[in-house]
Amino acid sequence: MSCLIYDKTHEIRYHAKEKGWFRDLWLAQRDEDSLPTWDGETSVWRVEFRFKRQALAEFGIEAVCDLIEHVDDLWMYGAGHVDGGDDGLPEGGCN
């Protein structure tokens, strides 16, 4: 498993102008009051978890159709639990 964290807005601006359509998607997002969730300027950071075949197999994922059943498990393994660990502290070494 690996994790990539990077500034997607920087990537688009300097390395992948053909991905500019992401900006349209971000600008289209609205909150519960129909206000834009992105100001068009702030950096957008992307987090990608990449699991190789051996790691997926340990979760019981042998085919693409198995993946949907384990998305929550993969996210919790990579990013931690939203409410922290059993001790109530944040996960991921940020305490």
Q: Enter the pTM of the model.
A: 0.69
- For the chain, the average pLDDT equals 89
Tokens describing residue 2:
């690996």
Enumerate the domain spans of the chain: 1-50, 51-95
Q: Which single residue is written with the structure tokens 């964290």?
A: 5
pLDDT at residue 81 above 80? no
- Give the three-class secondary structure for 3: strand
Average pLDDT, integer, range 14-36: 96
pLDDT at residue 46 above 70? yes
Largest Cα–Cα distance of the chain, in whole Å? Answer: 45
pLDDT at res. 51: 95
Please give the backbone phi and psi of residue 52, each rounded to the nearest 5 degrees, phi first. -85, 170
